[in-house]
């Protein structure tokens, strides 16, 4: 029998299997856009550099502007110098990688452009490059339906069948409410099977977000505490220092609720609270997430008034730099009531979480950019040390730090050395960086690889996106026609509006702000 050195933590490591990736072609619709240059090409470049892409592959950029293969590659190269996570870009690697990239000029509404694309794909060797096709729709959602229909009509998108696969990757915003998300889903699935649709939420590409399930279901000591029996409440914070900047036009239509809470935050919440899945299959995990989302208590006009706070930043100072107010940002209406901050108190009406408040908050122009899940445990009975400190003993907490300073912190009380009986909170930290070294792939690298491999675990299923919109709609419909109140504005560079403090104070709670690690 092999002996395992239990003192060596790496001895028990479950090394992830390399993904099996078939030769394929990747077509990026909207290839002249920001996403291609900033995220997609840098991600493909790194996957290529790390030998994770299939042995044979092609990337075809499809867009309206007139470009040659050479000018398209030159543009991408220039952008890569700026957006690559590793610098400098390696010339030799780029040259080889760029040989796989070509350009196809065309209008999304023009059938003949798809026929031209089809001819380009048909010229690729080996045959898998013509049959295994990943279509990345980096285009406006209003164009999804037409693109998918044209792909179908020109024979590039076929029903799932042996001998090849075609997949469609779409980005957020995925609708702006339940009705529009539903309509979008119908358009996509008119010509594609749900199993061919990969909806991206880039938070699921983050290692720390994936680790939530691993942490919960590979450690018996914490999962036992993971319920109303031990948990007092949970705080999920996704704070951002930056302002809306050049995205004012988009943000006016979105706001923090649609931009962050509907997707990233509800995803984090569902991973942190769902029941154990029956297996690690994509559908098993997604089933549990949907169940969880459906157990969130729907909002009523009364509960929105009591449990949800909007906010908007006015001029202030962020990290020593002056910041204009949201209403003064470019492409923002001067009397805009769009929320740049939202805080909500949710309840999950199931056996495990009944009665436990979940506080979610996110905002722009806050003092620190940090995402974390903080599990706040119940206080000890007010006897012994708690009584000796007038009930002021800090309850234990466990913080999953999603970014930055990725890691986990357990906070508990320790005796202050000396003859007096005094206690104060002390911390136990796990840091990814010191444990595993700097391993910082971009979320997109992971997600693109999963889409090529056909593993849908890290993508959002139709019923999931719709369940999330249902929650958000039940809140948003109560905001219509109601301007922000004075208590809902906050100075840029502060932790949000006073109303958000009051939201927690109702139950005797306080926000635990993320702390920079010393």
State how far the Cα of 158 lies from the Cα of 143, in Å rounded to an integer.
19
CB 241 within 8 A of CB 369: yes
Using CB under 6 A as the binding rule, the residues of this chain from 229 to 268 that contact ligand BG6 are: 240, 259
Q: How many residues bind ligand BG6 (CB under 6 A)?
A: 3
The least distance separating ligand BG6 from the CB of residue 469, rounded to whole angstroms, comes to 16
Which of 134, 136, 135, 147 has the alpha carbon at shortest distance from 184?
Answer: 147
CB 136 within 8 A of CB 26: yes
The least distance separating ligand BG6 from the CB of residue 45, rounded to whole angstroms, comes to 19
Closer of 121 and 244 to ligand BG6 (Cβ): 244
The least distance separating ligand BG6 from the CB of residue 280, rounded to whole angstroms, comes to 24
Binding mask of the shown chain, residues 315 to 354, with x at each position contacting ligand BG6 by CB under 6 A: ----------------------------------------
State how far the Cα of 250 lies from the Cα of 461, in Å rounded to an integer.
24
The least distance separating ligand BG6 from the CB of residue 514, rounded to whole angstroms, comes to 13
The least distance separating ligand BG6 from the CB of residue 371, rounded to whole angstroms, comes to 6
Which residue is closest to ligand BG6 by CB? Answer: 259
Closer of 259 and 473 to ligand BG6 (Cβ): 259
Count CB atoms within 10 A of the CB of residue 229: 10
Closer of 72 and 174 to ligand BG6 (Cβ): 174
List the catalytic residue out of 51, 182, 264, 429.
Answer: 264
Closer of 38 and 64 to ligand BG6 (Cβ): 38
Using CB under 6 A as the binding rule, the residues of this chain from 349 to 378 that contact ligand BG6 are: 371
Using alpha carbons only, what angle is made at residue 58 by residues 157 and 163, rounded to the nearest 5 degrees?
45
Closer of 132 and 371 to ligand BG6 (Cβ): 371
The least distance separating ligand BG6 from the CB of residue 454, rounded to whole angstroms, comes to 24
State how far the Cα of 426 lies from the Cα of 423, in Å rounded to an integer.
9
Give residues with Cβ within 8 angstroms of 286, minimum separation 6.
456, 457, 460, 461, 464
Closer of 240 and 473 to ligand BG6 (Cβ): 240
DSSP code at position 264 = I
Distance from first CA to last CA of the chain, Å, rounded? 45
Evaluate the omega torsion of the peptide bond into residue 404 and state whether it is cis, within 30 degrees of 0: yes
Q: Is 116 helix (H, G, I), strand (E, B) or coil?
A: helix
User: Phi and psi dihedrals of 307, rounded to 5?
Assistant: -115, 0
Would residue 264 show up in a list of annotated catalytic residues for this protein? yes
Kindly list the catalytic residues. Answer: 264
Catalog residues that contact ligand BG6 under the rule CB under 6 A. Answer: 240, 259, 371
């Amino acid at each position: 029998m092999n002996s395992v050195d239990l003192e060596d933590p790496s001895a028990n490591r479950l090394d992830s299997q390399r993904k099996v990736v078939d030769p394929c072609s990747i077509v990026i619709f909207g290839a002249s856009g920001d996403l291609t240059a900033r995220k997609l090409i840098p991600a493909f470049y790194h996957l290529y550099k790390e030998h994770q892409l299939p042995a044979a592959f092609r990337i075809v950029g499809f867009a309206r502007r007139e470009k040659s293969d050479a000018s398209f590659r030159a543009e991408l190269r220039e952008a890569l110098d700026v957006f690559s996570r590793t610098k400098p870009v390696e010339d030799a690697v780029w040259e080889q990688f760029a040989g796989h990239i070509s350009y196809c000029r065309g209008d999304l509404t023009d059938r003949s452009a798809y026929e031209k694309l089809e001819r380009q794909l048909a010229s690729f060797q080996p045959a898998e490059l013509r049959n295994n096709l990943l279509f990345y729709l980096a285009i406006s959602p209003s164009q999804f339906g037409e693109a998918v229909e044209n792909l179908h009509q020109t024979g590039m998108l076929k029903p799932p069948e042996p001998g090849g696969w075609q997949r469609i990757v779409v980005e957020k915003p995925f609708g702006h409410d339940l009705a529009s998300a539903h309509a979008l889903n119908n358009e996509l699935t008119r010509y594609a099977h749900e199993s061919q649709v990969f909806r991206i939420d880039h938070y699921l590409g983050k290692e720390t977000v994936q680790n939530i399930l691993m942490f919960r279901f590979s450690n018996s000591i914490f999962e036992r505490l993971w319920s109303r029996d031990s948990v007092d409440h949970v705080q999920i914070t996704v704070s951002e220092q930056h302002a809306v900047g050049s995205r004012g036009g988009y943000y006016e239509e979105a706001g923090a609720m649609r931009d962050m809470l509907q997707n990233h935050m509800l995803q984090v919440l569902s991973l942190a609270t769902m029941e154990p899945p029956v297996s690690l299959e994509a559908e098993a995990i997604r089933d549990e997430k949907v169940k969880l989302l459906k157990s969130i208590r729907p909002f009523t006009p009364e509960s929105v008034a009591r449990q949800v706070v909007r906010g908007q930043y006015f001029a202030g100072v962020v990290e020593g730099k002056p910041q204009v107010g949201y209403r003064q940002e470019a492409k923002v209406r001067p009397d805009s009531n769009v929320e740049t901050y939202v805080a909500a108190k949710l309840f999950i009406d199931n056996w495990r979480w009944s009665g436990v408040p979940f506080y979610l908050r996110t905002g722009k122009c806050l003092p620190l950019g940090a995402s974390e899940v903080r599990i706040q445990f119940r206080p000890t009975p007010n006897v012994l040390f708690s009584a000796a400190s007038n009930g002021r003993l800090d309850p234990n907490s466990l913080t999953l730090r999603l970014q930055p300073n990725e890691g986990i912190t357990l906070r508990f009380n320790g005796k202050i050395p000396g003859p007096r009986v005094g206690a104060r909170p002390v911390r136990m930290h796990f840091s990814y960086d010191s444990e595993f070294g700097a391993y910082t792939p971009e979320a997109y690298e992971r997600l693109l690889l999963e889409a090529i491999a056909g593993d849908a675990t890290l993508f959002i299923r139709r019923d999931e996106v719709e369940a999330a919109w249902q929650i958000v709609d039940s809140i948003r419909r109560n905001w219509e026609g109601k301007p922000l109140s004075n208590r809902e504005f906050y100075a840029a560079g502060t932790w949000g509006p006073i109303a958000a403090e009051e939201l927690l104070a109702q139950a005797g709670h306080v926000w635990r702000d993320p702390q920079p690690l010393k």
